[in-house]
Structure 1
Amino acid sequence: MNALSHHGAARSGTEPTTARSATGLRLRLSLIWAPIFLVLCGLLAWGAAETQTGDTQTVVIALSTASFLAFCFALGDALRLIMGRRHERQPRPST
């Protein structure tokens, strides 16, 4: 086996070769927090539309944008974990 792992990063030699993160927990957390961030983004965007122009509106818009970015990150992580699980379940061709 070469010095590169599956993802191309060099192994330090201290982690087990079969080490895995808690993907089930990460998936549940992503699926819980994604809709929460989306609703928060919508509420903040609505609040920004109702707020008069000024410093307060800028802050609310920034918070809405940050919530949307957190939603995108959570959704992307959930999709990546789902695709990874699907990839693990597929039988590997024998060589």
Structure 2
Amino acid sequence: MPLEGDVLAVAAKITRVQHDCGVRMSDISEELRFDLIEVVYEWANGVRLNEVCRDVRNAARIVGDPSLQTKMEETSTAIKRDIVFAASLYTVT
């Protein structure tokens, strides 16, 4: 992702300010993980998490990663049990 460099630059700036102010902390850029950045980006842009899980599951099947495929199926099932998939308590059908 093109913004990864921007995020790392901000993290470096934060680390410098912490150091200048005498705050003892580890370099936060070492703690940043970008593995799921595209998934989070899609979710932030309004794509339903369940749709993202389905896409990842399908990709896992295509590349031959049965473990990831199973995890995404389980995640999708767990999401579907959440209140957002339940019928409204306030509507009459």
Q: TM-score, normalised by structure 1?
A: 0.38
Q: Does 1 or 2 have the higher relative contact order (CA < 8 Å, sep 6+)?
A: 1
Normalised by the length of structure 2, the TM-score is 0.39
